[in-house]
Each structure stands twice: as C-alpha cells, then as structure tokens.
Chain A
C-alpha cells in the first residue's frame, strides 16, 4: 500500500526565513511525485511533478527535490503570500487509473 507522510504538520516562519518541508513516501514503483498548494476554501493548485531521484524543479521562491525515499519543498525568503497548506502526493507504477495517494499536508504560516 502506498503511503505518504508529511512533516512538520504546521510551520510558522518570519518573512525572509528560509525553510524546508518534508514528504516521505513508500510506493511500489514511483511513477511521479506531486506537490500542490491549497489555500483555505479552495481546491489544491498544482505546483510540481518530479519523476526520478535527483530531479529538481523551481518556481519563484519554491524548489522541489526528490530522492528515492523523500521529497523536499524548499522555500527561500518566504513572503506572507506563501502562507498555505502544501500537499504532497505519489503515483505508483502499479495499479490503474493514475491514482494519487496524498499526505495530510504541511500548514505554512509566514508572518511579517
């Protein structure tokens, strides 16, 4: 059974204070690992897909990295508008339907 564990559950940062969110996973063959951002009352918004260990993707202040057991979402010099819940999900090579298994998310709060 595929499993995704995200840590920490919640994180409070000062504006400009860089940090990393962790996503640990177990999957029977990784097809892809996905990061999403979710604002309160809204649907998840797609950020990145990572396919193989060593891969990195960047978007503005966010950088996602992948190893064989975990992924990190690095946030550099965050701003208050980066406050949101960040979700990680994996897709297995086995099983049909391109299904995603999600973690429970990290709630990020960036303060002035």
Chain B
C-alpha cells in the first residue's frame, strides 16, 4: 500500500461541467501521475508532476489541466467535461529508493470512475 487515495471514487456529470479529481499521498513522494484507462487503449498518461508547482504533459493531455500546490495533493481538472472523457482515472506515485528495493516503479491508487453524460 503506497498510501494513495483518490476522490471521488465514482462520479457522474453532464457535458460541459467542470470536474476536479483529487489524488492524495501520505509518503512525500516527489513524482505523481494521472492516467486514464479505456478498453483497447490500456493506461495512457495525461499529466505528471515532479514537484510542487512543477508539472508536464503526457500523451493525452488535451482537455485536462493539473495543479500541485502541496506535495501530498495532485489535482486533475476537466475544465468542460465531454463524453470522450468518460473513463477510469488512476493516480500513481513513483517510488524512490535504491535500485535493489524500489526504483522507478510506479504505484497506483484505487481509481475514479467518471461518467460524462
């Protein structure tokens, strides 16, 4: 258990509304990631953060923004939700440590299932 929680766990919203998903970690990891998982596409990176206020885009970043004002929280915002953003969203952290223990592995939260009607 990497101490990652996501909220909400389930959300149904309407097209055009803003949505914010929260990822919270308790172990002071520097790197945090947001992925989406869709049938036939696997997990795809949306955005990631390498420190407070330091973020960068992944392969499917259009329509999403992120913020990280504290080490423990990484927020994903859909400014104006669309039906194509219906998905399961996972947050992950990158473990830090020696190569023999945890190195570069990412550990995932439980996910948020988002439905945009």
Where the two chains meet, the residues of A that have a C-beta atom closer than 8 Å to any C-beta of B are: 4, 31-32, 34, 36, 41-46, 49, 51, 87, 89, 91, 96-100, 102-105
Q: B49: nearest residue on chain A (CB-CB)? A: A97
A91→B104 contact, CB < 8 A:
yes
**Other-chain contact of B90, A43, A99, A103 (Cβ < 8 Å):** A43
Distance in angstroms from A99 CB to nearest chain B CB is 6
B42→A34 contact, CB < 8 A:
no
Where the two chains meet, the residues of B that have a C-beta atom closer than 8 Å to any C-beta of A are: 31, 33, 40-45, 48, 50, 56, 58, 90, 92, 94, 99, 103-111
Q: Cβ of A46: which chain B residues have Cβ within 8 Å of it?
A: 105-107
A87→B43 contact, CB < 8 A:
yes
Q: Cβ of B45: which chain A residues have Cβ within 8 Å of it?
A: 99-100
Distance in angstroms from B116 CB to nearest chain A CB is 19
A44→B58 contact, CB < 8 A:
no
- A43-B111, A46-B105, A97-B31 known; A87 vs B48 contact (CB < 8 Å): no
- Listed A/B pairs (12) with beta-carbon separation below 8 Å: A42-B111, A44-B108, A46-B106, A46-B107, A87-B42, A97-B31, A98-B94, A99-B33, A100-B43, A100-B106, A102-B43, A104-B41
B48→A34 contact, CB < 8 A:
no
Interface core residue of B31, B44, B48, B106 (most chain A CB under 10 Å): B106
Interface core residue of A32, A51, A97 (most chain B CB under 10 Å): A97
A-B pairs with lowest CB-CB distance, top 8: A43-B108, A104-B42, A102-B43, A102-B42, A44-B108, A97-B48, A43-B110, A46-B105
A103 and B44 CA atoms in complex are apart in Å by 10
